[in-house]
Structure 1
């Protein structure tokens, strides 16, 4: 389903792995934290080996202060010096950031999305990408969320399963969406 880029964006033949908010304070209480971080680490290694850009996204707000220990990317993962980091303050990684410009500079029209939290920034960024003309692929076993059931949300496992299910069937004219397992992500096309 996701072999050829079908983005509606012109001159954007490349893919990028996007790592959203895998920060100490964001994933500290997340479901399957270690498993998800390990899956993302493997994807980052595979993307780098295939010369596919890795774009990191880091959130800050009143509860997650920039440069604090909680704001840092988890110690198991580290952006390479040449990999872009997008700093954001809203759920959608495109809002009030330079994400779009960085993707344009890399010729990226297809996003392979991982990170946290499933029901907030991951979901917002997926929808933001599709609405802006990108292909947007969710890696089903490389995103997570915390338990927000005390505020009326479903259990985190259900949030993740539901997001994987509904994103599997998303589509838009001239664009592809979908959900794939980390082991099935194909980086063989490289960045060009």
Structure 2
């Protein structure tokens, strides 16, 4: 139901599951395991897997913190890698062009940080016309409560809560668990 014409396909986004991003993340190992499950399922169904990798002053490109965590399934050469420097994975990147080439109008979103790059990308995709499904048990964040944020489990729960109720003309948002992800076009 995306508003993007002739884009019936779905893609899995794996956002910023990097050493320096998820080092202290809530349920890190469980989230990575869920992402691995989804990567395997997407590959088995010939669904594009798009990898997103962040860099900035704290996570310098090619550094150890910039690398994907070793527990994560290895990216295959045919799977696109999008480098970004902003929270929204679309902002000043090749993501939109890669998705257009593949006829993608629906995204299944996983990764980190729930209250940063995940939220920015969810909204960035939605306002660009994509249907966007967040995998509720396949995103995480670190504890920023010392800065006034709620504990990470509450940040994740809140992100899941508000994203399930997003709506806009001709687009769908939703939240599902890893076990309930369907890469088939939503009816």
- What's the TM-score, normalizing by structure 2? 0.97
1:40-189, aligned counterparts within 5 Å?
40-77=35-72, 78-188=74-184
In structure 1, the gaps of 5 or more residues are: 1-5
Number of aligned pairs?
184
Q: Is the 8 A contact 1:50 1:188 kept in 2?
A: no
Please give the root-mean-square deviation of Cα atoms over the aligned residues, in Å.
Answer: 0.7
Alpha-carbon distance in 1 for matches of 2:10, 2:53: 20
Q: What residue is the counterpart of 2:34 in the other structure?
A: 39
Q: Is the 8 A contact 2:133 2:175 kept in 1?
A: yes
Runs of at least 4 residues off by over 2 Å: none
- What's the TM-score, normalizing by structure 1? 0.95
The structure 1 residue matched to 2:18, chosen from 23, 41, 50, is 23
Compute the displacement of 1:187 (Å).
Answer: 2.7
Alpha-carbon distance in 2 for matches of 1:12, 1:186: 17
Compute the displacement of 1:177 (Å).
Answer: 0.2
Alpha-carbon distance in 2 for matches of 1:33, 1:148: 15
Q: Deviations over 1:115-157 (max 9, x none)?
A: 0000000000000000000000000000000000001101000
In structure 2, the gaps of 5 or more residues are: none
